């Protein structure tokens, strides 16, 4: 069991990498994004939240009066 936990920890830590500032532009390119249309996805989350009366990811809860 201890070996399994250690091996999983090593795999998890191996996925971390330091990215130099001059390579961050390449990684932030539109082709590297998880969604092809991030604006459309944000709109879809907004519409879904409004229909389901649910919180959108990254938003705060509160009443409709603006008195969080």
Q: Tens digit of pLDDT for each residue in 19-55?
A: 888 888 887 887 777 777 778 888 887 787 777 766 6
CB burial class (10 A; 0-12, 13-18, 19+) of residue 45?
Answer: middle
Query: pTM for this structure?
Result: 0.33
Whole-number pLDDT of residue 60: 57
Tokens representing residue 38 in the block: 């991030």
Whole-number pLDDT of residue 64: 54
Cα separation, 51 vs 58, in Å, equals: 17
Contact (CB, 8 A) for 61 and 55: yes
């Amino acid at each position: 069991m201890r070996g399994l936990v250690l091996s999983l920890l090593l795999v998890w830590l191996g996925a971390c990498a330091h990215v130099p500032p001059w390579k961050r532009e390449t990684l932030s390119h539109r082709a590297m994004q998880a969604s092809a249309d991030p604006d459309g996805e944000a709109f879809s989350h907004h519409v879904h939240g409004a229909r389901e009366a649910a919180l959108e990811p990254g938003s705060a809860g509160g009443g409709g009066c603006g008195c969080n």
